Homo-oligomer: A and B are copies of this chain.
Amino acid sequence: MEEAKGVVKHVLMAKFKDEITPDRIDLLIKGYANLVPLIPPMKAFHWGKDVSIENLHQGFTHVFESTFESLEGVAEYISHPAHVEFATEFLTALDKVIVIDYKPTIANH
Seen from chain A, the residues whose Cβ lies within 8 Å of a Cβ on chain B are: 1, 4, 8-11, 13, 33, 36-37, 43-54, 56-58, 60, 62-63, 65, 71, 74-75, 78, 97-109
Contact = CB atoms under 8 A, between A and B. Distances in A.
Contact of A47 (B54, B105, B108): B105
A1 B97 CA distance: 23
Contact of A104 (B48, B74, B97, B106): B48
Contacts of A45: 106-108
A65 to B, nearest CB: 7
Given A56-B98, A63-B11, A102-B63, A107 B33 contact: yes
Contact of A106 (B44, B51, B78): B44
A91 B20 CA distance: 33
Contacts of A102: 47-51, 62-63
A6 to B, nearest CB: 12
Given A13-B13, A43-B109, A48-B105, A1 B56 contact: no
